[in-house]
Structure 1
């Protein structure tokens, strides 16, 4: 089996968690960012980092009053942790 298929994602997307913690609905986040509700819904459903441009990331950070590190988490592989 291919090793790339077995490994877990190293970068996790946490928009769903952040929206829940701040109690922000898709509709409200769409209003705050000026983005379409379908776009917010699509981004919320990712568990791994989607291809997000700087402008979109900035809009999300402004609306949620957070930093990119609140939305993105790096998870090192076990052998990387020992270095």
Structure 2
């Protein structure tokens, strides 16, 4: 978002989700993301899903996806 000089407010308008939900995703507190939301984010930010998601293992060694990276 920072690289594209876009505010959370503007991005939430483009994507169609609340600023609160966008903040949850941005701060890596989200439990899941809908494909439609991921698609809308990628379109608004002109990026690929891999630019937003990071694959990590949790403390139990299980797979987990985290966060929308703040660039």
Q: TM-score range by the shorter chain?
A: 0.5 to 0.7
- Compare relative contact order (CA 8 Å, sep 6+) and give the higher one, 1 or 2: 1
Q: Write the distance in 2 (CA, Å) between the matches of 1:45 and 1:55.
A: 20
Structure 1 runs (4+) deviating above 2 angstroms are 73-76
| Aligned match of 1:3 | none
Which structure: larger Rg? 1
TM-score, length basis structure 2: 0.65
Paired residues in the alignment total 57
Aligned 1:59-74 pairs, distance under 5 A:
59-74=40-55
Relative to its length, the structure with more strand (as a share) is 2
> Which residue is equivalent to 1:58?
39
Is the aligned partner of 1:25 residue 2:7? yes
What is the Cα-based RMSD across aligned positions, in Å? 2.1
**Runs (5+) with no aligned partner, structure 1:** 1-18, 77-83
Query: Any unmatched runs of 5+ in structure 2?
Result: 58-71
Q: TM-score, normalised to structure 1's length?
A: 0.57
